Amino acid sequence: MTQFAWRTEDQERLLRATLPAKVLDEMLEMCRAAGKRETGGILIGRHSEDRSTAVILEATGRPKDSLFSWATFSRGSHGLRALLESRWSENRFYLGEWHFHPGGSPNPSHQDILSMKKIASDPDYQCPLPLLLIVGGNPRRDYLVSCTVFIGVAEPARMIAESDNRRSSP
């Protein structure tokens, strides 16, 4: 199975993330459906035994109570508690967030960074190293996918692609 992978630059604290192509294809379909508006959801999966690799197994769509426009996305929470409780029984957990920057860069905005630092430091999330995946560009043609890991309130660590995370859609 084709997958996309990222790693941190810091060799002393090497962290990795993987994303199956099937999950990325589902994300791209949600981006195409959103048109010129931002969209997103949460990332669900598991960590490797040594906790160095986040294995993303699912990317949800936006909850019904999300707020979104051409330049902003504020993920709602409708239905997420029940979804996450059901995934816990399958040993799948909240790993972070994803969203779409239509026609734009996959780099996190200032607001993205503030939101993720809040998640990283909030014990209710039970996720001290949340990931943020951003799809930027045009999901119908050319796009890029970035991955950033947030370690508490420290500066985020932009992860380096281990595989080609730029694709052209058919």
Which residues are catalytically annotated?
Answer: 38
Compute the distance between CA of residue 5 and CA of residue 164 in angstroms, rounded to an integer. 8
Residue 40 CB neighbours (<10 A): 28
Compute the distance between CA of residue 67 and CA of residue 90 in angstroms, rounded to an integer. 30
CA-nearest of 50, 56, 58 to 14 is 50
Q: What is the DSSP string of 54-80?
A: EEEEEE----TT-EE-SS-EE---TTH
